[in-house]
Amino acid sequence: MKSLNTVFIVLMVSIVVLVSCKEGMYDSTEEEKDIKTLVETTLIVKDNVTRYHQIPTVFLATNRAELAFQLSGTVDHVMVKIGEKVEQGQALMSVYNPNIDPTLESNLAQLESVNAKILQVKRDVANLKALRKNNSASKNALEQKQTEQKDLNAQKKLTNAQIDLAIANQSESIIKAPFDGVVVMLNKQQGEYIGAGQVAMTINQPNDLEVEVNIPHSLSKDLKLGVKINALYENNIYEMTVVELAQVADSQSHLFKVILHLETSINQAIGQQVIMNFPKNYQNVYKLPLEVVVDDGINKPYIFTTVNELAVKNSIKPLYIESGNIIFETNIPIIDPVIIKGQSKISSGMRLQVTQ
């Protein structure tokens, strides 16, 4: 009898313990369901932003010329020095070619001889025509003289062309300034040989400036002729105007050439570096502090929003990062509050509590 009482007591204790354990487990589960991660949120809207791309280049003279002779020879006179100011039409350099003067003199002598022959043939033709009226000269003799006259006229025309070429060559033996400017380069000195077409010197107008820039299509597509672009030179901002804009990219660099003209004058700026600020416009994009974005290096970057107190992952397409902010696009518009603090401690589907 005593043994049965002992068994009964043990069973009752076990039942009490089991019931207590179940109640404890139930209470623990309920507490876990009530746990929420604290986060801070903000609302964001789409906006249009502009990013400036800085591209270095150098100032060039708008009017610049590389001057060359159209015939070869020996430089016999250099009339200017580097840095010297010159006026339009001023003689700058000359070349000696031993074939120019003899050729001209020979052709002039040839022309004088041809003219004398033409004069004599004209007389002969006139006499033969008069004799033909009396049947005192043959038709064949007259035709021969007329043919000779035509040949001499053709020879005269050719000689005149050779004379014109010789005179032109004489004029090409002197380089003259095409505009008022400054000599910036002398490639040949007196006594040196120079070939036809070889650059002998360079002049430019120093106060009228421009730049040439090669840019990608992403920047050139928003440009138009007449658009103003800011340029940074020696900590000063200058305004430049697009005056030429390539419509076809270079086949090797795949870049588009743009030429911009400086609206003001800067002394001694040719060859100096200037920074061009080309704008690129982004339409309907979002902007957030960089630390808001989650990037684990495996998945695409994303942000969290809160929907009905639950964390929701939203993938983004980063465009660029600037001044600690990230500019991005999304496939689906963001209309729910974005989590800006506490996002590193949560995962998709977690319960959240938003703090003020």
**Where residue 292 sits, what CATH number does that domain have?**
2.40.420.20
Average pLDDT of 170-186? 86
Confidence of residue 2 (pLDDT cuts 50, 70, 90): very low
In this structure, the answer to whether residues 88 and 177 fall within a common structural domain is yes
With respect to residue 30, please indicate whether it lies within any of the assigned structural domains.
no
Give the chain's domain count: 4
In this structure, the answer to whether residues 181 and 231 fall within a common structural domain is no
With respect to residue 25, please indicate whether it lies within any of the assigned structural domains.
no
In this structure, the answer to whether residues 111 and 87 fall within a common structural domain is no
In this structure, the answer to whether residues 121 and 213 fall within a common structural domain is no
In this structure, the answer to whether residues 262 and 291 fall within a common structural domain is no
**Where residue 198 sits, what CATH number does that domain have?**
2.40.50.100
Of residues 103 and 10, more confidently modeled: 103
With respect to residue 81, please indicate whether it lies within any of the assigned structural domains.
yes
Average pLDDT of 306-319? 91
CA–CA distances in Å: residue 181 to residues 89, 90, 154? 11, 11, 46
In this structure, the answer to whether residues 163 and 274 fall within a common structural domain is no
Range of the domain at 153: 98-172
Calculate the average pLDDT of the chain. 84
With respect to residue 141, please indicate whether it lies within any of the assigned structural domains.
yes
Look at residue 230 in the predicted model and tell me its pLDDT: 95
Which of 204, 222, 250 is at the close of a domain?
204
CA–CA distances in Å: residue 308 to residues 218, 290, 312? 41, 25, 10
In this structure, the answer to whether residues 239 and 264 fall within a common structural domain is yes
Q: What is the DSSP letter of 343?
A: G
88-99 pLDDT per residue, tens: 988 889 888 877
In this structure, the answer to whether residues 75 and 192 fall within a common structural domain is yes
With respect to residue 266, please indicate whether it lies within any of the assigned structural domains.
yes
Look at residue 107 in the predicted model and tell me its pLDDT: 65
Strand (E) or helix (H) holding 56:
strand 47-58
- Asked if residue 334 has pLDDT above 60, the reply is yes
CA separation for the pair 269, 233 (Å, rounded):
9
Strand (E) or helix (H) holding 230:
strand 228-233
In this structure, the answer to whether residues 90 and 177 fall within a common structural domain is yes
In this structure, the answer to whether residues 197 and 73 fall within a common structural domain is yes
183-202 pLDDT per residue, tens: 999 999 999 999 999 999 99
With respect to residue 126, please indicate whether it lies within any of the assigned structural domains.
yes
CB 348 within 8 A of CB 307: no
Look at residue 265 in the predicted model and tell me its pLDDT: 87
In this structure, the answer to whether residues 135 and 190 fall within a common structural domain is no
245-284 pLDDT per residue, tens: 999 999 999 999 999 999 898 988 999 999 999 999 999 9
5-57 pLDDT per residue, tens: 554 554 554 554 444 444 554 444 444 455 788 888 889 889 999 999 999 99
Look at residue 191 in the predicted model and tell me its pLDDT: 92
In this structure, the answer to whether residues 147 and 183 fall within a common structural domain is no
CA separation for the pair 285, 317 (Å, rounded):
10
With respect to residue 102, please indicate whether it lies within any of the assigned structural domains.
yes
Of residues 32 and 156, more confidently modeled: 156
Look at residue 10 in the predicted model and tell me its pLDDT: 47
**Where residue 257 sits, what CATH number does that domain have?**
2.40.30.170
| pTM value > 0.85 | no
With respect to residue 27, please indicate whether it lies within any of the assigned structural domains.
no
